[in-house]
Structure 1
Amino acid sequence: MSGDSGLGHGRTVGGTVHVGVSPEVAFDYLVDPAHRPAWQSSLASVTDIEGEPGLGQTWTDVTKPGLRPAMRTTAFDRPGLWAEDGVWKAVRASLELRFTPCAEGCAIGYRFRITGRGPLAFAGWAASFGALPAVRADLRRAARILEGRES
């Protein structure tokens, strides 16, 4: 089942990370909010997880600076596509992951954008570009965790 990924209009940035595990293994690990603090550098914890991983699942990210965006899965098509939206005050962030099998495991294509309303509109656009290295590093960290489990 899939839904609107929430990326829509606006400035979207992204890239690809290769992982030495199958798309199914990578998908199952990355889409489970309970695993997020282990690989996402900005998170202190995840709370209020409602439901199993799937379309419409909700949770709260607790970031290291103390922000608490409300998160929701907006696309879930195992093992090919997963997306989330997060909202904190006037800021919204959307992330989409696409899992493609390859000879060495899978390629994870990621796209995201951060948007703000009103005076935060430009800040959201700039934050998307500023967050690109962190998102790439986080997915590489997840790849190392997954590859370590497989060996």
Structure 2
Amino acid sequence: MPINHDAVKYRINEILDCISNLKRLVSKPYTELSIDEKNSIRYYIIVMVEALTTLCIHVCREQYGYKPQSYSEAVKFLCDKLGIEPLENVFSLIKLRNLIVHRYWIIDDYRIYKNVKENFDEILLFVKLLEEKLKSENHILQS
């Protein structure tokens, strides 16, 4: 099955939308965030990581015939294909997503806030490089 052009674009847009919403939420001082806003931060992290890993798994399977056993394995495989070192911030976000989903009661919202406030440069770099690689290999994502 070939790469689904629309699914790739959808996932990339979903990642970028989540980053935009996260940046908006952390633009406020932590002490001014409501419980709903703190929960929204958690939600957008989950959605962003799931969009990113769904994209990675799709590309691994459809472009390279590789079936990763985990989210991290899919990202590591694609980092290798992109010729870049594994991105620690991306792996940290995958672990954070797992904590939020499976052990939400031990999450330190202030620590999440601080990490989100720093930036998403590695995720944006990864998405950009993946998009460029797919364009060059498949001539997809062309407008």
TM-score (norm 1): 0.31
Structure (1 or 2) with the larger CA radius of gyration: 2
As a proportion of its length, which structure holds more helix? 2
As a proportion of its length, which structure holds more strand? 1
TM-score (norm 2): 0.32
